[in-house]
Amino acid sequence: MPDQKPRGYEEESAPVPSGEESSSGQGKTIAVGAAVAAALVLIVAIVLAVMQHRHDEAAEREAAAVSASQAAEMSRSAEASREAEEEREAEESRAAEASREAEESRAAEASREAREEREAQRSRAAEASREADAEREQEPEEPVRSAWPDPPFPAQGNLEWATNGPYQSMWTCNQTADGHYGNINTSNCFTGPDGGVYFYMLRQAAR
């Protein structure tokens, strides 16, 4: 069915814009586009700034991380160097202590050996003295030599025995006694208490 319009209805036609209204619309469109473009530029600038800031922050963090890593490495190196130095000093101290103990041990050993040697010498000297005393005790006593032997026979009448000597040897004594006095008037030669050689001879008794 064809559309039926109410009575009295009149179809209104669209208004036709005038030339001024058209120019005004175009200007508004351009202004809006410029504003949008400016906004986009601003947004892009902001985004770029944010990205640059983040990049800078990342670079700073990376630099800080590198610096921290370098600092940690330097700290570890310094700690290792310090530990090595402490170990070297400890080793030197242990070596010095061992050397001192060895020197003290050698000195103590030398002192002990010297003391033992002195004691051994004293012991040997005491033993030698005891042995010498024992030998002296065991030696037979030297017989006591009589002062002078008796003459061969008693003198008769006005004669007496007189001692003649000393001579250096028994041979000299015998030669003298036999050559000058004869066996009748002399005794055999003998050793007197002083070690000299003598003989008795008869002579006229002193009045």
CB 139 within 8 A of CB 152: no
Q: What mean pLDDT is predicted for residues 5-22? A: 54
Q: Is the pTM of this model over 0.75?
A: no
DSSP annotation string for the chain: ----PPTT--PPPPPPP-HHHHHHHHHHHHHHHHHHHHHHHHHHHHHHHHHHHHHHHHHHHHHHHHHHHHHHHHHHHHHHHHHHHHHHHHHHHHHHHHHHHHHHHHHHHHHHHHHHHHHHHHHHHHHHHHHHHHHHHHSPPPPPPPSSPPPSS---TTEEEEEEEEESSHHHHHHHIIIIITTTSB---EE-TTS-EEEEEEEEPP-
**Lowest-confidence segment of 13-27, 66-80, 128-142 by average pLDDT:** 13-27
Is 90 exceeded by the pLDDT of residue 51? no
Is 50 exceeded by the pLDDT of residue 142? no
- Residue range 17-47, pLDDT digits in tens: 555 556 666 777 888 888 888 888 889 889 8
Phi, psi of 200 (to 5 degrees): -95, 150
Question: Angle at CA 152, nearest 5°, toward 150 and 155?
Answer: 90
Residue 176 vs residues 42, 166, 198: alpha-carbon distances, Å: 168, 11, 10
β-sheet with 190-191: strand ranges across: 159-167, 197-204, 190-191
